[in-house]
Chain A
Amino acid sequence: MNTHTGLGRLLAATALIGALVGANAARAAELSVVSGAVGNDLAEMQQQLDRFAQQSGHTVKLVSMPASTTDQFGQYRLWLSAGNQDIDVYRTDVIWAPQLAAHFIDLKPHVAEEIDKHFPAIIESQTVDGKLVAMPMYTDAPALYYRKDLLEKYGKQPPKTWEEMAATAKEIQDKERAEGNQQLWGFVFQGNAYEGLTCNALEWVVSFGGGQIVEPDGTISISNPKAAKALDTAHSWINTISPPGVLAYQEEDARGVWQTGNAVFMRNWPYAYALGNSDDSAVKGKFDATTLPIGEGGERSAATLGGWNLAVSKYSRNQEAAIELVKFLASEEAQKFRALTNSRLPTLVALYDDPEIVEKQPIVPRWKEVFLNAVPRPSAPTKTKYNEVSSEFWTAVHNTLSGNGDGESNLKRLAARLKRLQGGEW
């Protein structure tokens, strides 16, 4: 009798466990998230994914991509057009929403509660025809990094204008080289012909008062003396304060030169702040960051609005789990972790007053104003033609930087080409 009940209980328990496991197996999905990365992005993402896997029971595979946003876009466009079911969640650049909107599901109904906690401008940038294409995970606005120790040594202040920046950079570079620091350069930025150059050059042009390439109403404004002046100024840096190789640098190349202590100034995104203060960094504790300089005749410092978002593929077979993952990675907890480990700027308003972030990553709260005034790239007015506009722009800039024509003639050509590209309407 006893054994009988015992056996019965055992059987019942087994059945129950079986049912639980079975139910769990039916619910647990295998997700794939694809992401490009600079710096520590992937390591940070993996840590977050591990926590998500623990909490939810889903397994997530992280598919890594090259750092260049241009390369990522080509691959994603191809996968999405082919209706690829292998990738559930895409990490998308802030400029992609209008071009890829058709392939992603509308997240709005799923994040109704969270949506108001994010900065409205960022949500706006990811909304196409009322559809929330992607959920922001962090935002980006570049800074001018400078070496506190070197500026102090030569009694300099962080520069307010590009002219000051170039003069300070030149002076420190020359004096330091005379003292035997042969590798030192004044200023590094992203000069490779890719999307990053569009960001850099847009900042120069706007800070010189030269407009935003294509204005929000669709007017092509790039061919003007102020914009030409901006590009010619940038051209004058090459081989004087910037290494000639800067014309092939992307973010990580610039950071490489900077973090080995070989640059006085660097233009880069906030992620370089946390990495610059890591233990193996030659500039740990020796630098700070400020807003990018203003151009001659310009009125404001300009920072290009960047940032990355998460979108769920329409072709995913695990959309529910994928939405869960997106909500997790965009949550307050995840954004705080990202800000603390990687100095990535949160898209949640409340986090800018978080005491722990204020203490450990002081650049984050200071950056709130910067990105609130950040300049968007003209991806909204130019719609599906944005990539081509950007490519035409960075080509004109790269030509100017490498001395292949001056700012005025290259921008005149650019304006004519954009006009043709525009056709009847963008």
Chain B
Amino acid sequence: MAGPVSRNSELGRQRVLAAWGFLTPMLLVLALAAGWPLARTIWFSFTDAKLDSLGSAEWVGLLNYLEYLDYGDGDGEYFGLLFDEGWWAAVWNTLRFALISVTLETVFGLIVALVLNASFPGRAIVRAAVLVPWAIPTIVSAKMWAWMMHDQFGILNDIGLRLGLLDAPIAWTASPDTAMVAVIIVDVWKTTPFMALLILAGLQLVPSDIYEAARLDGVHPVKVFFRITLPLIRPAIMVAVIFRALDALRVFDLVYVLTPNNDRTRTMSVFAQENLFQFDKFAYGSAASTLLFVVIALMVLLTITLGRMDLEGNRS
């Protein structure tokens, strides 16, 4: 039965039909659960919708994105999301957060994975223990860290002061200089285990005979890592990075709990939520959500292209 079957043959047509039969339920669910809300959000972004009167939203074109207000004296000014400083600050915050946190998580995750891949007594327990931060809901860990970082009651400052590392308590989440650092610390703490797990899965697929051959040839361990391990686990790392990057670009809960309403940490999602629900600007928030979607899509395309990801499975 193995081997290619021409699509035009009777059997081929049957297979295609069967494939569609199996795919249809999934596509339907996807269209309902993801496609419909997305389409609705995009639609709202071109209307004057208010949260209290979604039914009577009317088409206003690009007004939420771009609007030229003519003062009538040859002068005028641009408004709309594309000219909103607050929005671009949020985009920049998000990109900065995503870049730094995902990079750190990848490096730490790789180190943890390499350690866990080595065999040592008690490895199973350590593997389970490493996963604990990932198992804690984000809201809980954010709140927990908020208390640990508290300038008066926080344990971080207490330890720092006792050890003489700090001469005055740091107000981690309050000071504009450290707010983003605080958010990144918590995110790295939380998601490094996830990275480690995915990379570990990749590591375990590397056949041990390659290492054996390298050892017999007397290759330096550092060279082994860069020439053998890294290229072989690259696909696993890339998948992990894309997962994390997607997550990081739409980060909401962590920022919302840890440093709400702070200009230095407001991300695209927080910006959208604020406009959608706090302010009476549902359409504007929808426009922000739509752009958020576009930015994430672009970033993923970029990562896939740059990382020469092999999603089709053609190369081997």
Write the residues of chain A forming the contact surface with B, with a CB cutoff of 8 angstroms: 68, 70-71, 73-75, 77-78, 81, 99, 102-103, 183, 191-194, 243-249, 253, 256-257, 262, 384-385, 387-388, 391, 394-395, 398-399, 402, 404, 420
From B52, B169, B274, contact of A243 by CB (8 A): B169
Query: Once bound together, how far apart are the Cα atoms of A81 and B280, in whole Å?
Result: 12
Interface size class of B (residues with CB under 8 A): 20 to 34
* Contact mask for chain B residues 43-57; partner A; CB cutoff 8 A; 1 contact, 0 none: 000000001101000
User: Chain A binding site: helix, strand, loop or mixed by DSSP?
Assistant: helix
Contact in complex: B260, A71 (CB < 8 Å): yes
Contact in complex: B152, A244 (CB < 8 Å): no
Contact in complex: A244, B280 (CB < 8 Å): no
In chain B between 156 and 213, which residues have their CB closer than 8 angstroms to a CB of chain A? 169-171, 173-176
Given contacts A245-B151, A245-B169, contact A384 B280 (CB under 8 A): yes
Query: Once bound together, how far apart are the Cα atoms of A102 and B53, in whole Å?
Result: 11
From B169, B171, B277, B280, contact of A248 by CB (8 A): B171
Does B303 belong to the interface (CB within 8 Å)? no
Contact in complex: B260, A70 (CB < 8 Å): yes
Does B138 belong to the interface (CB within 8 Å)? no
Smallest CB-CB A-B distances: 7 pairs: A245-B151, A245-B171, A248-B174, A247-B174, A193-B261, A244-B171, A74-B277
- Which residues of B are found within 8 Å of A402, using beta-carbon distances? 174-176
From A68, A81, A253, contact of B52 by CB (8 A): A81
Does B279 belong to the interface (CB within 8 Å)? yes
Contact in complex: A243, B261 (CB < 8 Å): no
Contact in complex: A395, B261 (CB < 8 Å): yes
Query: Once bound together, how far apart are the Cα atoms of A93 and B148, in whole Å?
Result: 30
**Shortest Cβ distance from A261 into chain B, in angstroms?**
12
Given contacts A71-B260, A256-B153, contact A246 B174 (CB under 8 A): yes
Contact in complex: B277, A78 (CB < 8 Å): yes
From A81, A102, A387, contact of B279 by CB (8 A): A387
Contact in complex: A77, B151 (CB < 8 Å): no
Contact in complex: A73, B174 (CB < 8 Å): no
Chain B residue nearest to A76 in the complex (CB): B277
Contact in complex: B175, A244 (CB < 8 Å): yes
- Which residues of A are found within 8 Å of B153, using beta-carbon distances? 256
- Which residues of B are found within 8 Å of A248, using beta-carbon distances? 151, 171, 173-174, 259
In chain B between 271 and 305, which residues have their CB closer than 8 angstroms to a CB of chain A? 273-274, 277-281
Contact in complex: B280, A99 (CB < 8 Å): yes
Query: Once bound together, how far apart are the Cα atoms of A102 and B262, in whole Å?
Result: 31
**Shortest Cβ distance from A416 into chain B, in angstroms?**
11
Query: Once bound together, how far apart are the Cα atoms of A245 and B179, in whole Å?
Result: 11
Contact in complex: A73, B176 (CB < 8 Å): no
- Which residues of B are found within 8 Å of A99, using beta-carbon distances? 280
- Which residues of A are found within 8 Å of B260, using beta-carbon distances? 68, 70-71, 192-194
Given contacts A81-B51, A387-B280, A388-B279, contact A395 B263 (CB under 8 A): yes
- Which residues of B are found within 8 Å of A70, using beta-carbon distances? 260-261, 278
